[in-house]
Amino acid sequence: MSMGRKMKLRSIVASIKIAWVLLILAGVVITTFAVTTMTTMKPAGNQASGIELRLSSVDPPDPEPPCIIYRDIVGVPETTYLGLTVRVFNWKDTTLYFSITGSGEGYTFKTVQLGTVDSGKDKYFLLDAFATRPRPAPEELEEGEKIETIELILSAYSDENYTDLVETYTKQVTVHWINSEDPVWTIEVLNNFDDGTVQGWSAVVEVGNSASEEVATDYVLSAPYSLKATIARLTTMAGYSYELRGRIEKSVTTPNKDKVFGIFDLRFSTAFGPRSHGSKVTRFSEIRKDADILIHLGSPAWNVAGSIPSDRWLRMVVPLPKNTTVTLKVILCAYFYISGGPIGGEDQYAYIWLDNFKIISKEA
C-alpha cells in the first residue's frame, strides 16, 4: 500500500472514531461533548503555537481530524443551546490562565474564564450552554442537510485578572445539521417502545451486581413508554468508593447507503438506596460500535462532579458505517462514596433511559 493510501486510510479511521455529539431537549440546556482522553503529550516538532485547543481523543503530535458536530433539528426548541467539553494544552514554560469564546453567523457565544493550566499540561473543561442559535427552519436544510462553520477562540493570560494577553488560538468546527423527518431520509429503524416491548435492547452489567431492562413510564419522550435500564451494586462497606458501570445494547444491520446516522435520545441518573447515603459522581458515558468508541462524554477524572448532564433528556447523533452488522452500546459509569448504610442490599443504582432511537439513511 502506498504512503498516500495509508495516510488517507488513517484519516478515514480517525474521523470515524471521533465523536461529535449533540445533546438535545426542548426547554432545557443543549450540550455538546467530544471524545476525550487523559494522556498529556509533548507538542509536535512543528508546533507553532504555545497553546492548543482540541475536541477529540487524538493526542499531539498527531493532527486532529476535522471537527464535526452533528445536530438533528427534530424536536429542537426555537432557541438551541450548544455546549462543549474542550481540552486545553499549555506548551509555555509557565502556568497560564485561559478563557474561551466563539464566533459564527447566527450564534451568540459566552466568554468563559476557565482558570489555570500548568506548564506542559492539559486539562478538560465542560462548557454548558456555551452558545445559542435560533433553530434552522426545515426549508433551510436542502436535501435534509445544512453545513455551517463556527470558530472557537482560546485566549491565554499571564494573570488571574485576565488582562495580560499572552496568546490566542482559533479552531474551526463544522456544524452538520440534519432534518431526520425530511422525506429524503429513510427511517431504517425506529425504537419508541410504544408497543410495550424492549424491541431488542438488553441491559448488561460491567462493574456491579446486576442489570435489568424494562419499558417504563416515569420518563418518556413519546408516550406511553421508554426503555429503562437499571444497573445495581450491593454495598459492602461504608467509607469506601465504588465504581458502577453498565450498558444497554442492540445488534443492528445498517443499510447499504452512502449516509447513515444513528440518533439516540438518552437520559442518565444515579441514586442511593433508601438506607444508604454518601456522594456520587456521574463520571462518563459512551456510545460504542462493537469495541470502537463513537462518543465519549464526560471527564476522565473520576472525582469531577457533573462530568455529564444527569436527569434530563439528551440527544446524540453519530455517523455509522454502511452495510454492516454492529452491536451498538450505550455505557454509563458512575462512582459512589458510601458514608453509611447497611452491609448488603442494593444501595447504589445507575439508570439509562432510551426513547425514539432512529437509524436514518440516504444516498449521497
Is residue 57 predicted with pLDDT exceeding 60? Answer: yes
Is residue 53 predicted with pLDDT exceeding 80? Answer: yes
Strand, helix or coil for residue 139: helix
Higher pLDDT, 1 or 232: 232
Q: What Cα–Cα distance (Å) separates residue 147 from each residue in 178, 283, 315?
A: 9, 32, 19
Report the amino acid identity of residue 213.
E
- Cell numbers 425506529 label which residue? 190
pLDDT tens digits, one per residue of 331-362: 999 988 888 766 666 689 999 999 999 999 99
Separation of alpha carbons 43 and 25, rounded Å:
38
Q: Which residues contact 183 (CB under 8 A, 6 or more apart)?
A: none
Q: What is the DSSP letter of 3?
A: H
Mean pLDDT of all residues in the chain? 84
Give the cell for residue 267: 437520559
Is residue 40 predicted with pLDDT exceeding 80? Answer: no
Is residue 318 predicted with pLDDT exceeding 60? Answer: yes
Give the per-residue pLDDT at 306. Answer: 56
Name which of 6-15, 36-45, 54-63, 324-333 the model is least confident about. Answer: 6-15
Give the per-residue pLDDT at 8. Answer: 36
The structural domains of the chain, ordered by start, are 3-178 (2.60.40.10), 188-362 (2.60.120.260)
Q: Which residues contact 171 (CB under 8 A, 6 or more apart)?
A: 53, 54, 55, 67, 151, 152, 154
Mean pLDDT across 22-47? 38
- Number of neighbouring beta carbons within 10 Å of residue 303: 12
Give the per-residue pLDDT at 81. Answer: 85
Name which of 25-34, 122-131, 133-142, 292-301 the model is least confident about. Answer: 25-34
Is residue 66 predicted with pLDDT exceeding 90? Answer: no
CA torsion angle for 68, 316, 222, 202 (degrees, to 10)? 140
